[in-house]
Amino acid sequence: MATIYGRDAPAALVSRGIYTTAATWSLISRILHGALWLAVISYYFYFWIDPKDHFNQLSQLRLSTEVLMFGLPMAAVCMGFFQMAMRDRAGVRRHPAPIIPQR
């Protein structure tokens, strides 16, 4: 029986190949999601260290800087949505947090 995140997969999904494809894409998107957020943090740190290279003669942000500063977080959020969709399609159950925490 196939497993994902330490849980057994439903047999009907495994026999049709749906589960394995969704589970694979779920894991790939999870890795890409983390890598994109790491790229966002590293690029912001790079901008913080040396900001003068990111401005033109009119003190405006360069187009490449704008694309990376606003495009990377947008790509990370979209990858998070894709990850949630693939996780749901693979049948991985989410563990909701309790409304009132237990003491």
Where exactly are the structural domains of the chain? 25-90
Separation between Cα atoms, residue 76 and residue 92, nearest integer Å: 21
Task: Show Cβ contacts of residue 87 under 8 Å, excluding neighbours closer than 6 positions.
Answer: 26, 94
pLDDT of residue 3: 53
The total number of residues written for the chain in this structure: 103
Neighbours of 103 (CB within 10 A): 3
**Average pLDDT score over residue span 28-45:** 94
Separation between Cα atoms, residue 69 and residue 78, nearest integer Å: 15
What's the pLDDT band for 92 if we cut at 50, 70, 90?
confident
% pLDDT > 90, the chain: 43
Backbone angles phi, psi at 97, to 5 degrees: -75, 145
Query: Which tokens hold the place of 73?
Result: 């977080």
pLDDT of residue 73: 96
pLDDT at position 80 over 70: yes
Q: Where are the alpha helices (DSSP H) in 7-96?
A: 11-16, 18-49, 63-90
**Residue 65: alpha-carbon gap to chain centroid:** 21
